[in-house]
Amino acid sequence: MGIQSILKTFSATATLLLAHYGAFTCATKPQTYGIVLVRAFDTLDVYAPIEILQLVSSMHKIQISLIAETPEVTTEPMAAMMNPFNSTVWPRVPTTLTFATAPRDFDVLIIPGGPGVRSPYINSTLEWIKEVAARAGTVITIFHIYATTLRYA
């Protein structure tokens, strides 16, 4: 990913969140944010919104939950061919909640992209997203597979 792509992702995330933020009155600003993690998620898609929300949190209370099927998620791809040199650059991220323990009512649900969203093993994740997205105030998707899946929910 080149620097231009990184800047575009960050800029798009900032624009979405700040536009969303500005659309609310003081009494109705979103406070609860759920960020769904799957194996091999794109770290920028997760940490760019968190960076913006850290700024917003100086203006009102923000609660961010990192949610996944398991208590820890890695960005390492499942397929060995996507890591041909057996590199060890893949962070492991502890989640704050699992699908079993997470609430079903977030003001904003953020669904990042990355190679993991093309995995055939994320059916339970997609089912959870369908259920929770229907109740969320706003859903921000970075990758179109979720948007397509949610449209037919």
Give me the CATH number covering residue 128: 3.40.50.880
Cβ-contact 99, 36 below 8 angstroms: no
pLDDT of the residue at 34: 97
The answer to whether residue 94 sits within a structural domain is: yes
Percent of the chain with pLDDT over 90: 54
The answer to whether residue 14 sits within a structural domain is: no
The answer to whether residue 15 sits within a structural domain is: no
Residue 105: CB atoms within 10 A of its CB come to 12
**Closest CA relative to residue 69, chosen from 101, 99, 34, 33:** 99
pLDDT tens digit sequence for 61-101:
999 999 999 999 999 988 888 889 999 999 999 999 999 99
For the record, the structure tokens of 95 come out as: 């989640």
The answer to whether residue 123 sits within a structural domain is: yes
Give the whole-angstrom CA distance, residue 119 versus residue 102: 22
pLDDT of the residue at 28: 76
pLDDT band at 27 (very low <50, low <70, confident <90, very high): low
The answer to whether residue 63 sits within a structural domain is: yes
The answer to whether residue 43 sits within a structural domain is: yes
Residue with the bigger pLDDT between 141 and 148: it is 141
Percent of the chain with pLDDT over 70: 75
Is it the case that residue 143 has pLDDT exceeding 70? no
Cβ-contact 10, 48 below 8 angstroms: yes
Cβ-contact 112, 41 below 8 angstroms: yes
Cβ-contact 73, 41 below 8 angstroms: yes
The residue range of the domain holding 55 is 26-152
Q: How far is CA 107 from the centre of its chain?
A: 14
The answer to whether residue 2 sits within a structural domain is: no
pLDDT band at 152 (very low <50, low <70, confident <90, very high): very low
The answer to whether residue 7 sits within a structural domain is: no
Residue with the bigger pLDDT between 142 and 74: it is 74
Please give the tally of structural domains in the chain: 1
Is it the case that residue 32 has pLDDT exceeding 90? yes
